[in-house]
Amino acid sequence: MRDTSKLRIPVGLVTVAAVLGAVLVAAGRLIVDGFAGIDGADATAARELAARRDGWLVDLTWAGTYLSDTYVVIVATAVIAVATVWATRQWWLPGGAILLTAGETAIYEVSNSLVDRPRPHVARLDPGDPMASFPSGHTAAAVCLYGGLACILIGLARHRGGRIPMVSAAVVAPLVVIVPLVVAFCRSYRGMHYASDVVAGLFLGWCWLLTVNRLVLSRAWPAREARAARAAPAAQAAAIPRPADPAPAKGRP
């Protein structure tokens, strides 16, 4: 019988990605076609938000958008991957970090292209594809980037200890909630997305984060513990002092 355990991870990732893409496309098309009046409510909210723009908040939201800008996400993912390879000497954490942002981007691109929702009909303060409104890629990327970093740091703090991982985990953990909400507001405020777009981005980001954490990131810790358990008996045996050889018996005179 063939061992199929190695196929569970890629099959699981592809299955979840396909389901997420299908759900987003179905939801997006329903909204665009006027389901439950969501499109009209979105348009009203976008106009009211644009009418209340203020100079200082325009500048602040410009900076907030860059928390999950494409180049920031790429560079941060590369740094996390290199750092985790150096720290753990195995591929689960760097592979998971890359899968988080790359997988989210792939799901976003497919669903975005198939939904093809126009951006809000208000003055847009950032450049971007005018037909790339649903879902919000910046919001989903924020969840995956900062959520993935938090999962990694919390895992390191729990399984390896040390002051630096524990303090880092305590600092980053709240950002999993704060940063995506900040990015969602910034993108809506700057006229780049409707409210339902950023909700869909949060949904995509959280679902993909939970999937990659369950299938990939969480496997780093059992792997490390299993190696430590295998190495422990050998280390203990090496630490036990060997009994001295008995003195040779003296011969009879």
What tens digit of pLDDT does each residue of 70-81 get?
999 999 999 999
pTM of the model: 0.83
Q: Which domain holds residue 183?
A: 13-225
Number of structural domains (the chain) is 1
Mean pLDDT across the stretch 201-230? 82
Share of the chain above pLDDT 90, in %: 62
133 in a domain, yes or no?
Answer: yes
Residue 31 CB partners (closer than 8 Å, separation 6+): 38, 39, 42, 117, 134, 196
Nearest to 217 by CA among 99, 90, 96: 96
Helix or strand holding residue 76 (H, E)? helix 70-88
- Burial environment of residue 9 by CB neighbours within 10 A (0 to 12, 13 to 18, 19 or more): middle
Q: How confident is the model at residue 202 (pLDDT cuts 50, 70, 90)?
A: very high
67 in a domain, yes or no?
Answer: yes
Q: How confident is the model at residue 168 (pLDDT cuts 50, 70, 90)?
A: confident
How far is residue 68's CA from residue 104's CA, in Å, rounded to a whole number? 13
Q: Is 161 left (phi over 0), alpha (psi -120 to 50) or beta?
A: left
pLDDT of residue 2: 53
175 in a domain, yes or no?
Answer: yes
